[in-house]
Amino acid sequence: MNSYATILQKMNAPTLCLTLVLLTGCAGTQNAPRPAPSVRLIPQTLTIPVTPPPFPDTPTWGNLGIWGDRLLDALETCNADKRAIELLEQRRLQRLNNEDNNHAEN
């Protein structure tokens, strides 16, 4: 006869039930689902390419000054967009850190 069968014959019903409960009690435990972090995309207005002003057809000292000023304006626009993207990224990381800290406390 099978060794398991002889063991089961010797055990009484309450002991068998308790053993089954203990064996299956941990099988159904699951970790609490963690909410997915919210992802906010960078606004499209910050990622639109800034086109540099065209070089003047007839370069004169006056045209070059105006062209240089427009070129600096385009560069300042790009830098402002980069600063805005960096600020959004810092806020996103701060929000993720806060969510992690709140989740760890609970």
Task: For residue range 48-93, list pLDDT tens digits in order.
Answer: 999 999 999 999 999 999 999 999 999 999 999 999 999 999 998 9
Which residues neighbour 56 within 8 Å (Cβ) at sequence distance 6 or greater? 63, 64, 66, 67
State the pLDDT at residue 41.
77
In degrees, to the nearest 5, what angle opens at C-alpha 29 toward C-alphas 13 and 7?
Answer: 25
Q: Tell me: pLDDT of 4 over 70.
A: no
Query: What does pTM read for this prediction?
Result: 0.54
Domain spans in the chain, listed from the N-terminal domain onward: 42-106
